[in-house]
Every structure is written in structure tokens, then in C-alpha cells.
Structure 1
Amino acid sequence: MSLKLDALDIRILDALQDDVTTPIAEIAERVASSKTVVWRRVQRLTERGAIRARVALLDHREVGLGIMVFASVKMGRHGVDVLPQFIDAVRACPQVIECHTLMGPVDFLLKILVADINEYENFVWQKLSRIDGVQEVHSSISMSQPVYTTRLAPRPTNSDDTPGGD
């Protein structure tokens, strides 16, 4: 069940998405609320999972990871242990920054960052293709990333716009 969000929650989340290092007092002023209320709301949003982490977003190219690859992985079998074992295996690979379970002709879509094509080739041959159950891997290399954002546009979930709790 999703967390009930009101207009104040949305304004607080919007401010945090601009810069998570913004002091609570500044956010409170920006959203026209008190520091105590904003602090409590941030704590509740964090405890309930709406705020998953407070991180720095890095530019992958600037930190030496110049190649972004989307790998579609088809599994040869779908036993009760095969899919969870695959997920555990790719979690252990620092090159894999996202893993999506899909419906359709492939089972997983991986977003992978590597320094160069040689590193990706080695990753496929030495790690990905050796995971139990992997039948096919189809790779697409990203040439550019004209749209990139981590910003979400949450919607209020309270029909009467009452506070989500202080």
C-alpha cells in the first residue's frame, strides 16, 4: 500500500529532490511550515520508504565509466530457485546498476556501466553468461542520454488534502 501524501509532503519531497543537503530550516521556510513539522515529515517519509536514500548523483563518464549498456537477458528455465539466484548473482556485480524483471520475450533488463567495450566483453564472458540459467544476452550500447533525471512527480493521495501526519 502506498504512503498517503498531502500537498505539504509533496512540497517537502520537491525541495529535497532539488538538493538533499538543504537545511530543514530552509525547507520549512520554502514550504511555509515550521522546522518541527518538516523534520517530522521527513522522518516519516524516510521510515515509510518514500525517501529511499540520500545520495550524491555522479556523472558516470566523469568517474571513468564511459560505456552504458542495456543488456536483455533471457533465461533458459524458470525454476523456483533460478530467477532469485540470477538476481543475487547480478546484485554482486558492481557493473550492474539496475536490474528490472520484465514480462515479455526477455526476463531481465540490466543497466550496466563499464569503462570501455573490453570491460563489457569480459563482464559478459566471465560473469553474466556464466550465471546458471542464462540462455541469451542481447546488448544495446547507449550512444547518448538526452533525458536524465531522478526527479519524481509524486501526486497527493489524500482526497481531502488533509495532512499526512506530523
Structure 2
Amino acid sequence: MIDLDPQDVKILELLQQDASRSTNEIAEKLNMSQSPCWRRINRLQQDGLITNTVALVNREAIGMDLVAFTTINLSQAGRKNMENFEAAVIQLDEVMECYTMTGAWDYMLKVVVKDIRQYEIFVRNQLLAKVPNIGEIHSHMAVTEIKNSTKLPLKSQLEKSS
């Protein structure tokens, strides 16, 4: 774990809000000069805290209206079966997130598609046909999105390390 000082946290928060901000703009917001600000950002990148700079696409604006949380149990346990499943799931564009789980399910996937029909096609033609060792699938459709954030709670992390 990398220790962050308050300036690092402020830089990361600004970049999480809008990564297209220039170094000069960030430096001005933090009342620091551009060169030290650039060095801090560069260090945060080199240390692996900033891994990618991306554009977030509004899924609803392009007609991707269905979010499904899909829970999966493998038909057989074992390291090789897990590795095979995970390697196959990584290749599926519709799967936005995949987690191993404790409790009743082996995995939980966040799947984003156009509609329920496309989800059915995805499950039948992609998930079941191309992903090995699936024993059980349960689908949970999101009805209303209350919060969807990519911002990590950095201030709480800073408070814990103090």
C-alpha cells in the first residue's frame, strides 16, 4: 500500500472527476506550481495508483439499458476449473465486472446489454456455449440505478492512515 499525502489525494480526486484536466488546471486548483504537480501525477502513475485514463460512455445514451447481476456456481470445484472459467469470462465484452464470492455463489458478474432479449442471447450463446464448467446461473436484473460511481473514497483512506 502506498501512503498518500493530502495533496496526492486532492490530485487523485480531481482526476477521478475529470481526467482530461490539464496539469496546469490541477496545479491552479491546488495552489501549486505546474512542475511539482506534474511530478506528483507522474509518480502516482509510476507507482500504479493511476492505471488508465479513459472516457466513460453513457450506456443509456447508446441504448445499453439492461444491467444484470449474474451469479454463477461452477459444476466442479478446483483451481484449473476456476482458471478456465476466469480466462473465458475475461474475453466476454458484455461482462463489465467479475468477482469471486464468498457464500452461496462462486462468481458474480455485472453484465450490460441492450435489453432482456440480448441478455438471453448472451447467456445462451456466449456464457453457456463458451465458458466451461458452469453448473448454475441465476440472473438478477437491475430495475433502478441509484448510484453508479467510478470514484474511490480517497478521503476516508487518508483518514484511516492518520
**TM-score, normalised by the number of residues in structure 1:** 0.89
Q: Which has the higher contact order (CA 8 A, sep 6+)?
A: 1
**Matched residues in 1 for 2:30 and 2:116: separation?**
47
Displacement of 1:127 in angstroms is 2.0
Following TM superposition, the consecutive aligned residue runs of length 4 or more in structure 1 with deviations greater than 2 angstroms are 155-159
Tell whether 2:134 aligns with 1:140. Answer: no
Partner of 1:6: 5
Tell whether 2:79 aligns with 1:76. Answer: no
**TM-score, normalised by the number of residues in structure 2:** 0.91
Aligned partner letter, 1:35: Q
Q: Compared with structure 1, are the counterparts of its residues 158 and 104 closer, same or farther at alpha carbon in structure 2 (3 Å cutoff)?
A: closer
Q: Compared with structure 1, are the counterparts of its residues 104 and 27 closer, same or farther at alpha carbon in structure 2 (3 Å cutoff)?
A: same
Higher helix share: 2
| SS at 1:81 equivalent | helix
- Superposed CA RMSD: 1.4
| SS at 1:127 equivalent | helix
Contiguous gaps of at least 5 residues in structure 1: 160-166
**Matched residues in 1 for 2:92 and 2:74: separation?**
18
Partner of 1:100: 99
Displacement of 1:158 in angstroms is 5.9
Aligned partner letter, 1:135: G
The count of aligned residue pairs is 158
**Matched residues in 2 for 1:125 and 1:118: separation?**
11
Aligned partner letter, 2:132: D
Partner of 1:114: 113
**Matched residues in 2 for 1:9 and 1:37: separation?**
11
Q: Percent identity?
A: 32
Aligned partner letter, 1:140: H
Contiguous gaps of at least 5 residues in structure 2: none
Partner of 1:16: 15
**Matched residues in 2 for 1:75 and 1:158: separation?**
39
